[in-house]
Amino acid sequence: MAGALRTIARTKLRIGMIPADGVGREVLPAARAALEALGSSIPKTEFLDLDAGFEYFTKKGVALPEETVSAMKNDLDCALFGAVSSPSHRVVGYSSPIVALRKAMDLYSNIRPVKSVSKTPGERPSIDMVIVRENTECLYIKEETMSLGPNGKEARATRLITERASRRIGQMAFETALARGSSSLLTIVHKSNVLSVTDGLFRETVRGVPALPGVDGKYDAIKVEEQLVDSMVYRMFREPQVFDVAVAPNMYGDIISDAAAALVGSLGLVPSVNAGDTFVMGEPVHGSAPDIVGRGIANPLAAIRSAALMLVHLGYDGPAKKLDEAVDSVLRRGDVLTPDLGGSCTTDQVTAAVLKEL
Per-residue pLDDT at 3 exceeds 80: no
Kind and range of the H or E run holding 154: strand 152-157
Rounded CA-CA distance 305/69 in Å is: 24
* pLDDT given for residue 109 in this prediction: 96
Is the pTM higher than 0.85? The answer reads yes
Range(s) within the chain of domains with CATH label 3.40.718.10 = 1-107+276-358, 108-272
What pLDDT score was predicted for residue 140? 87
Distance CA 30, CA 348 (A): 8
Q: How far is CA 1 from CA 6, 15, 145, in A?
A: 10, 21, 35
**Which of 5-9, 194-198, 231-235, 347-351 has the lowest average pLDDT?**
5-9
Pair 259, 233: CB distance under 8 Å: yes
CA distance 347 to 336: 10
Annotation: CATH topology of 1-107+276-358: Isopropylmalate Dehydrogenase (3.40.718)
* Three-class secondary structure of residue 44 per DSSP: strand
pLDDT digits (tens, 9 = 90+) for 256-275: 999 999 999 899 999 999 99
Q: What is the mean pLDDT of the chain?
A: 94
Evaluate whether 285 touches 98 at the Cβ level (below 8 Å): no
Angle made by CA atoms 311, 286, 51, in degrees to the nearest 5: 70
Q: Confirm if 350 and 299 have CB atoms less than 8 A apart.
A: yes
The pLDDT confidence band at residue 122, using thresholds 50, 70 and 90, is low
What average pLDDT does the segment 187-213 reach? 97
Q: Is the pLDDT of residue 2 over 60?
A: no
Say if strands 280-282 and 128-134 run parallel, antiparallel, or are unpaired: unpaired
Task: Work out the angle between the directed axes of helices 347-357 and 317-333 (0-180°, nearest 10).
Answer: 120
158 pLDDT higher than 80: yes
CB count in 10 Å sphere of residue 266: 18
What is the CATH architecture of 108-272?
3-Layer(aba) Sandwich (3.40)
